Amino acid sequence: MQRATLETMVALGLMGLSVAGAVHASGFPRGSAYLPTTVFVAMAILSLVWAVQSGIAHFHDKDRLRIERVEARRLAIIAFGALALAVAIPAFGFFTSFIVLVPGIAFVLGYRSARGLAVGALVFVGILYLFFVVILNRPLPVEIWHALLA
């Protein structure tokens, strides 16, 4: 299979998911619908651009797709990490899960700078907290330590 063919299929699939997400998000209450609908529409447009570019490349580039063992391992780690986050967020809370799992996943992928991982996780969680809790006033799943101490 050509790389461009696979990219076109993935881009079209992502575009379909983005359109479905935009339709679903548009049914949210008015104040809550704006941001997710906008993000999904932007994703759909960018996916369409990607699909067109890959479709054009299909006719010019005859590169065969080669998946290397290292890339497949990284993909499996990322997929497992996403599944672990999906399970951990309801159980441990949004911020606790992200502070523990995101640097953990990055470490397993080969990033070894402990300071960089810690700072990156804290900055990321801080931005999410500022955006969702402070600006949008939207609660996220309760943290396990908050539930235990309250």
Q: What six digits make up the tokens of 35?
A: 């941001």
- Residue 133 vs residues 19, 83, 139: alpha-carbon distances, Å: 27, 24, 6
Can you give the pTM of this predicted structure?
0.63
Give residue limits of the domains in the chain: 3-60, 69-149
Cα separation, 108 vs 119, whole angstroms: 17
Tens digits of per-residue pLDDT, 27-67? 988 777 888 899 999 999 999 999 999 988 878 877 677 77
Question: What's the token pair of residue 87?
Answer: 């399970």
Answer whether 10's CB lies under 8 Å from 4's CB.
no
Write down the pLDDT at residue 147.
Answer: 65
